[in-house]
Structure 1
Amino acid sequence: MGLFSKKTKEELYIEKEMKKVKKDTDLAIAIAEYAAKLAGSKDVFERTITLERLNVLERRKNRVSDAACKERIHDAAVGLLAVQEAEFELRSVSNARELESAMKSLEKVLKCMYRLDPGTSITKRDVRKSRGLEFDDTAEPVTYADRAELVDERFVENLIQGESLESCLEQTVPRTAGNNIGSPAPGMDGINFYDTSEADKEFDALGEKLSQKYAGEH
């Protein structure tokens, strides 16, 4: 019986290929699910900013405190930045291990989203079931994105005035390690960090220096 049930090389090859196809398909499905959750979270953040912006304007018109609304706008903006980072990581995923690593970014996004909209349809149970993810949705302050510190009072006010997230980012001076918040490092005064033409020139010059240094060492 064992002799007749022995598989040929061709059959073994086909089985191997089918397993690879299934593995690739499973990964593609998981990535699609991840992308869908990010899209759902992004909608929550954008809707929150839109609604709370209107609330702020109405409260100011009636001379009522808008602090709570501004806090929600702040959290939603931070959430959108986290979504951007997660989407960037997702585009580079090519295997299951990289996907699991990228799931940490999704966890940050969902934490922020559940604080803003606990009744959202993207439930914790769904995420745990699909990826075995464990987290809570406490209201404790959490840094959801590396760029979260950019969302200051001015950033929030610009959103309230109707500016886009991208426009607010362009107007924000990057924080520099080792200096006071918002203070440029020595010799960096007057540099427009968001002028891409200047950035391209600087990167080209740096690349040239590194190439020359590498050539000299070899």
Structure 2
Amino acid sequence: MIAPDDLVCLKAIALLGGLSSAVSVSSQSLAQELSISPQTASRRLISLENTHMISRTMRGDGQYVTVTQTGEENLRVEYAAYRRIFETHDRHYILEGELISGLGEGRYYVSVEGYASQFSDKLGITPYPGTFNVKLSPSAIETRRKLDAMEWIEIEGFTDHDRTFGGARALKCSINGYTCAILIPGRTHYPEDIVELISAEHLRDVLGTEDGSAVIIEVTR
């Protein structure tokens, strides 16, 4: 969890352009931006670097700062929280794409007790062993990003027989009236054009779909 003061600093760096590229940031300029002392600004930069929220490089003309993937994820969490505060109306999203085959890992992971029990308790889904994978159409990718503002359910990581399993987050949805849930693993750089779902049903069978079939996912707040 990022400290509140560090989050303010991270937001300031992002507003200066650090989310898309390296920007020139000195302790003095940041201090002026945040109305704090240069010493405090320097400490916050060090803290953000130590927690992998930013990366810093020195050039001939000064210090350049970039917001990392971890930093961006923390900003998105904050952004999503504010959207939930101010956007209280019901929202209905449609994600269109086509069915694709996964790597075969889903069958194993959804059957691991540490995950399966959480899917049952938190989502009300006793998952069919396997995931239903959809490659989103280009127009659906932006809609997928909007889902980050919704309230996802945390699937906690755990250790089982000396093996560590990472956490994930889940969002309930439906396909042709069948209840399912989108799963986003906690690992970084997960493809944003791929959606991985679990369901109590063997969706390929009940929907009569195969690779390349059109799929419509509905998400309602």
TM score, norm. by length of structure 2:
0.23
> Which structure: larger Rg?
1
TM score, norm. by length of structure 1:
0.23
